[in-house]
Amino acid sequence: MSAASCLLTEDQFLCSICLDVFTDPVTIPCGHNFCKTCITKQWDKNVRCQCPNCKKIFNTRPELQVNTFISEMAAQFRQSAQQRASSSSSEQQVSKPGEVPCDVCTGTKLKALKSCLVCLVSYCETHLEPHLTMSGLKRHQLIDPVENLEGRMCTKHDKLLELFCKTDQMCVCMLCTVLDHKTHDVVPLKEEYEGKKAELGKRDAEIQQMIQKRRLKIQEMKCSVELSKKDADREIAAGVQVFNNPERFNTCACVLAKQSFSSGRFYYEVQVKEKTKWDLGVARESINRKGHLKLYPQDGYWTIWLRNSIEYRAGAGPSVRLSLKCRPEKVGVFVDYEEGLVSFYDVDAAALIYSFTGCCFTQKLYPYFGSGRNDGDKNSAPLIISPFNFTE
C-alpha cells in the first residue's frame, strides 16, 4: 500500500456510484473512473451515455476496458485494509451477549462501535474506518450501535425513529412530528425509554417482593402440613381407639338419625343425585348393627335401595325390584306410625316409588341412611338431608 499511497489518496479508490472500493475499474473518455459493472448498469438504464460526475455526454457509447493500474492499486489497498483489520482485531473486544456485533466480521464477531443509518449495517472499529476516511462515506449518518436497524427506521420517511409520540404511543421520526404528529405530545425516545425502564424496574421490584411473600407463605404451609403429618403419625403410633358400642355399625357405611319417633306422622327428603349406591328408610331402635345387615321388615328395617347406578329394590323380604321411569334425584320418605305406613316418593316427579303397608310399629323409629362406599370416587357424592317436616 506504500506505493499506492504515494500516487493516489484513499478517496480515489472509491467508486462514486456504489461508494465502495473499485472492482474492475474502468476509465471513461472524460477521465473519471468507475467500477465496470456500476457504469455499465448506469448506461444500460439511460438513453444517453453520460458521466455521473462531470455530466459529459458521449454520442457513441465508449468501449470499456479495465484500467489495470488502478485495479492493482485497489487490490493493494484491500490487502492493506485486511492486514490492518487482522492486526487490530485482537485488540478489539469480542461481542458479548447483549452487545451489538459487527455485521461485516466473519468468524469471530467483534463488538460494533457504530451503526450506519444509510448502509443499515453495524461496524466494529476496523470496518468503520472507511466511513471515517473516505469522503463519500463520511456523508453517511452514524449512531451508537443498535440492533435491528431496519426496525428503527421510519417506514414512511426512511428516517431514524428517535422520538416518541405520547399521544399515539408510538415511535416517530423528525418528519413525522412536522406532518402526521404535528400537534401531538412528542418527547425524545431516550427520555421515554428511561421513564419506562424506571417504571418497569419498580414493577419488577414489587413482583419480586410479592413472589418472596408467596414463597414464605408456601413454606409456612409446608411446615404446617409437616406438623399435621407428624401429629397424625404420632396418633397412629399411639393407636386411636374407636369404641365398639352397641349403637355403632361396624361393617356398613350407614347411620341412624339422632331424633326418633314413636307416634304421629313425619316426613323428610334426601338428595341422592349422582350416587351409584344408597339405602334409605326407617329402622326400629333394637335393630342389629353388627356384621352383615338384612334390610327387611322382619329385621326391623323398612327401606329401599340403589345398587350399580340402575338397580332399585325395596326390602320387602325378599326384596322387590322397582321399575322407575327415571332416576330420582331427591327421595321423600313419609311415615304414619299409627297407620303402619312407610312410603317413598320421587320428589321432583311427584311420583310414588314404593309403600310398606300394614306395618306394626311397637318401638321407636329412626330415619336410616346408607351412603355406600366411595368405590374409587364413583360414589363420592354425599347424601344431603333436608330438614324434617312434621305433621301431628
pLDDT tens digits, 88-111:
555 567 777 878 889 888 878 888
Bigger pLDDT: 385 vs 232: 385
Bigger pLDDT: 375 vs 232: 375
- Whether 242 is in a domain gets the answer no
Of 84, 117, 149, which residue sits at a domain end?
84
CA 220 to CA 129: how far, in whole Å?
63
- Whether 5 is in a domain gets the answer no
- Whether 75 is in a domain gets the answer yes
Tell me, what's the pLDDT at 74?
85
Is 253 in contact with 371 (CB distance < 8 Å)? yes
Q: Is the pLDDT of residue 116 over 90?
A: no
pLDDT mean across residues, the chain: 85
- State mean pLDDT over 223-238: 76
Q: Is the pLDDT of residue 272 over 60?
A: yes
CA 37 to CA 161: how far, in whole Å?
34
- State mean pLDDT over 353-364: 94
Q: Is the pLDDT of residue 150 over 80?
A: no
Q: If you average pLDDT over each of 109-123, 182-196, 268-282, which comes out highest? A: 268-282
Bigger pLDDT: 218 vs 108: 218
- Residue 275 confidence class, pLDDT cut points 50, 70, 90: very high
> Which CATH number does the domain housing residue 78 bear?
3.30.40.10
CA 192 to CA 53: how far, in whole Å?
44
Range of the domain at 342: 254-386
- Whether 91 is in a domain gets the answer no
- Residue 1 confidence class, pLDDT cut points 50, 70, 90: very low
- Residue 36 confidence class, pLDDT cut points 50, 70, 90: very high
Of 84, 119, 141, which residue sits at a domain end?
84
> Which CATH number does the domain housing residue 364 bear?
2.60.120.920
- Residue 3 confidence class, pLDDT cut points 50, 70, 90: very low
Q: How many domains does the chain have?
A: 2
Mean pLDDT is lowest, of 84-88, 128-132, 179-183, 336-340, for 84-88
Tell me, what's the pLDDT at 211?
92
Please write down the HEC assignment for all residues of the chain: CHHHHHHCCHHHHECCCCCCECCCEEECCCCCEEEHHHHHHHHHCCCCEECCCCCCEECCCCCCCECHHHHHHHHHHHHHHHHHHHHHHCCCCECCCCCCECCCCCCCCEECCEEECCCCEEECHHHHHHHHHCHHHHCCCEECCCCCCHHHECCCCCCECCEEECCCCEEECHHHHHCCCCCCCEEEHHHHHHHHHHHHHHHHHHHHHHHHHHHHHHHHHHHHHHHHHHHHHHHHHHCCCCCCCCCCCCCCCEEECCCCECCCEEEEEEECCCCCCEEEEEEECCCCCCCCCCCCHHHCEEEEEEECCCEEEECCCCCEEECCCCCCCEEEEEEECCCCEEEEEECCCCEEEEEECCCCCCCCEEEEEECCCCCCCCCCCCCEECCCEEEC
- State mean pLDDT over 65-92: 75
Bigger pLDDT: 18 vs 341: 341
pTM assigned to the model = 0.40
Of 47, 64, 84, which residue sits at a domain end?
84
What's the pLDDT tens digit per position in 290-330? 888 889 999 999 999 999 999 999 998 888 999 998 999 99
- Residue 2 confidence class, pLDDT cut points 50, 70, 90: very low
What's the pLDDT tens digit per position in 240-261? 566 667 778 877 888 999 889 9
- Residue 386 confidence class, pLDDT cut points 50, 70, 90: confident
What's the pLDDT tens digit per position in 41-63? 989 988 889 999 899 999 899 99
Q: Is the pLDDT of residue 269 over 90?
A: yes
Q: Is the pLDDT of residue 288 over 60?
A: yes
Q: Is the pLDDT of residue 11 over 90?
A: no
Q: Is the pLDDT of residue 335 over 90?
A: yes
- Whether 352 is in a domain gets the answer yes
- Whether 181 is in a domain gets the answer no
- Whether 126 is in a domain gets the answer no
Share of residues in the chain with pLDDT > 90 (%): 35
- Whether 364 is in a domain gets the answer yes
